[in-house]
Amino acid sequence: MQDFAISPTSWPSDISGSNVVSGFLSGYLVASPLVLQNVVELATQYPSCRIVATGHSLGGSRASLFVADLTLRYPKLTPRVYLYTYGQAKCGNQVFSQYMDTLGVPIFREVNRGDIAPHLPFENENPYVHFGTEAWVNLSNQTVFCKTGEYGHCSASLSPTAYNLADHSTYKGL
């Protein structure tokens, strides 16, 4: 049900005007204290290791929230953080997206062909946008890369009639 709770909620409090999808955030907040504690302990124990956050679909959105939270609470860890998502829905507004894009964290979102999930929630229903670099495996199975502001050349170039649920469950390697 959390996937369908798309009302905007103000978060994180450190970023004025930032809003994220309420349902995505509620699940993240349940797990975040333990996850943050464990990641910080491991990062301290292994100072030369990268911190890679990843997830598919809702997990990708929550991995993004984790990266925002971690970098705000532990800014010294930011240079070690990487974010890779697959079929991630839009999880924040323009302010949140701008914050994510200015972190200096490598952010890659893979979109498989006509996967509908990365287009949700639909633009006319809410203020949510993507961030980072999109790696779109297009309908010809070629990978096209687009950064924020260039998404019209990637999966956003598809007509909504090309969106489908089947492509959401056929990411290579997942």
HSE toward the beta carbon, residue 136, CA cutoff 13 A: 23
Residue closest to 91 by CA, chosen among 21, 25, 27, 146: 21
- Dihedral angle at the C-alpha atoms of 75, 78, 84, 85, nearest 10 degrees? 10
The answer to whether 18 and 92 have CB atoms below 8 angstroms apart is: yes
The answer to whether 50 and 80 have CB atoms below 8 angstroms apart is: yes
What the block records as the tokens of 112 is 């498989």
Q: Tell me if residue 115 is catalytic.
A: yes
The answer to whether 88 and 174 have CB atoms below 8 angstroms apart is: no
In Å, what is the CA distance from 35 to each residue of 53, 64, 74, 96? 11, 13, 13, 21
Q: Of residues 18, 56, 97, 115, which has the active-site annotation?
A: 115
Q: Of residues 18, 57, 61, 155, which has the active-site annotation?
A: 57
Q: Give the amino acid at 151.
A: Y
Active site residues: 57, 115, 168
